Amino acid sequence: MNIALLTAAGSGTRMHQDIPKQFIHVDNKPVIVYTMEAFQNHPSIDAIIVVTLESWSAVLWAYAKQFNITKLRWVVPGGETGQESIKNGLETIKKEFPNEDVVVMVHDGNRPLVTSEVISDSLATYARYGSAVAVIPCTEVVFESEDGKSSCVSTEREKLWRTQTPHTYKLDELLAAHKEAAERGIKSTAASCMLMKELGKTTYFSKGSEENLKITTTDDLKIFKALLHTRQDDWIK
């Protein structure tokens, strides 16, 4: 069984809006609904769980009904940190399927443009290696700086890969990682791939996309709107 775990518990302070970023409407549809639709429409995804702000749970269920998100099975409250929120979702899944082999695809609820191809490649990479993290190559020059104002140290971009989501793991393995992290005092590592790195686990890369942007600022929202209304020209291969 393949379950998409969508994280949507952030308050959106960087967006400086009155409502959380994942519930902002774009073309009369909330951002989180676009994200849910991507997994709803993928044939290999069996169910969806969303971890969100408790005060928005009823709203999310209403949106799921309005937009026919039939794969949504659970909406659970988030925690104090992103790491705790993911753990809450994982524990809910485990209670429902204590003895089944479950694959969990953790994805940011505010990455609404994740494609079917990215989801499929994540599942294929997981099937081959036992884990998958969507990445894209770094194409910019990257500097290291102590003061954020100047630098004379750069990093070879050929060695750098920018992580996105989804992050795909076996449910039991990810739960075990969260348990070990708690025992070792690791409390604020929201990214599952970073958590695995902290515990010495190898990360395997799956296909990401520049369009799979994470909406955290108003600039990101403008780009999202533009991409929604953009179609690839016929001459682009």
3-state SS string for 113-134: CCCHHHHHHHHHHHHHHCCEEE
Q: Which two tokens stand for residue 165?
A: 């989501």
Fold of 2-143+156-228: Spore Coat Polysaccharide Biosynthesis Protein SpsA; Chain A (3.90.550)
User: What's the mean pLDDT in 23-48?
Assistant: 96
Residue 102 has pLDDT above 80, yes or no: yes
How many CA within 13 A on the CB side of residue 213?
A: 17
Q: How confident is the model at residue 236 (pLDDT cuts 50, 70, 90)?
A: low
Residue recorded with tokens 């005092």: 185
The residues spanned by each domain of the chain are: 2-143+156-228
Buried/exposed 196-229: b ≥16 CB within 10 Å, e otherwise: beeeeeebbbbbbbeebbbbbeeebbeebeeeee
* Mean predicted confidence (pLDDT) in 152-165: 82
* Residue 153: closest CA among 142, 161, 162: 142
Mean pLDDT within 149-174:
85
pLDDT of residue 78: 87
Q: Which of 22, 17, 105 shows the shortest CA–CA distance to 59?
A: 22
How far from each other are the two terminal CA atoms of the chain, in whole angstroms?
Answer: 35
- Mean pLDDT over 90-119 rounds to 95
Q: Which alpha helices (H) appear in 30-105, and where do they start and end?
A: 31-40, 57-66, 82-96
In this prediction, residue 141 carries a pLDDT of: 76
Does the structure show a pLDDT above 70 at 12?
A: no
pTM for the full model?
0.90
**Percent over 90 (pLDDT), the chain:** 60
Place of tokens 């001459």: 235
197/30 Cα distance (integer angstroms)? 33
Give the model's confidence band at 172: pLDDT under 50 very low, under 70 low, under 90 confident, else very high: very high
CB crowding 57-69: b at 16 or more within 10 Å, else e: bebbeebbeebeb
Helix boundaries (H) for 97-236: 116-129, 171-183, 192-198, 218-228
More confidently predicted of 32 and 200: 32
| Amino acid identity, position 91 | E
* Average pLDDT, integer, range 111-126: 97
On whether the CB atoms of residues 192 and 169 are closer than 8 A, the answer is yes
CB atoms within 10 A of CB 150: 8
- Mean pLDDT, the chain, rounded, equals 88
Axis-axis angle for helices 171-183, 82-96 (nearest 10) = 130
